[in-house]
Amino acid sequence: MYVFKIEHAQKLSQDLISIVPIKFQIDNSMSVNALMDFDEQSQNVIIKFKSSADEQIDLMHELLHVRMQFKDKFSLLAWQTNDSRITDEIRNAVSNIRDIVDDTYIFNSLYNEFDIFPISPNFFNECKKDIQDHKINHIQSITGINKILVGSWRLRIAQLVLNDFSLKIDSYQKEICEEFLSLFSNIDIKINTTLSFLESHITYQSVITPLEHGQALDNLKDHIGFSPSLLHLASRNKINNRWLLQRI
């Protein structure tokens, strides 16, 4: 069991472990600082993290994913088992849609509920490199709908820093985000259109309850152009002592 140094992080962890088992694993091979997943067979939540991960920004972020799914019963996007239409591109798109909607909620929860600035220093370092390179490096190897989702979300995070979290940013962070937005906001018409959609439809106020959060997932799914029959909302429920994903 991971023992947090930060009291409110330890309290949140203990609260959630009483609902679902959580295993913490160090994995320095990951491209991200921390990642949460659920292992259906063992019925354990697995939170993998780098040894350099920050307890508040990275690990509490993943714990809030756990709280959303297992305690507060926020929705996920799911598909029918063995649906032949589900490709790797669609799986990645579902993951990116979830990241956008969930992280809009989680960033604001860290900021408003726990008084934590929720954006990792890595984001600003990456934005600085993008500015120097005159390209958003995260989207260079991505195509199609995932390029649109990832590109618009990078820009949206910069907007959130300037608008929602401005009381906790320094002059360097402010300058980086302003320059990033100035340089890349019109980089691609489809990315720009989706960014405008996120500004108006995926806000903290629009995802604050499970019902509104589910609607936001559906709205972004529809904006991207997925067939209504392809994906549906589901939630995790404990039945006969096992956590199952059930269609809503």
Positive/negative CA dihedral, 20, 235, 107, 32: positive
Give the pLDDT confidence score for residue 232 in this predicted structure. Answer: 97
Q: What does the pLDDT look like over 111-147, one tens digit per residue?
A: 999 999 999 999 999 999 999 999 999 999 999 999 9
Q: What is the pTM of this model?
A: 0.95
Closest-CA residue to 137 (of 103, 147, 99, 145): 147
CB 210 within 8 A of CB 73: yes
CA 91/CA 3 separation, integer angstroms: 33
The SS3 of residue 101 is helix
Residue ranges, the chain, pLDDT below 50 = none
In the sheet that holds 44-49, the strands lie side by side as 22-26, 44-49, 34-39
Task: Give the residue from 59, 110, 106 showing the smallest Cα distance to 207.
Answer: 106
Contact 46, 25 (CB under 8 A): yes
Domain segments of the chain: what residues?
A: 1-72, 83-233
Q: What is the pLDDT of residue 1?
A: 75
State how far the alpha carbon of 48 is from the alpha carbons of 191, 193, 197, 243, in Å: 30, 34, 32, 20
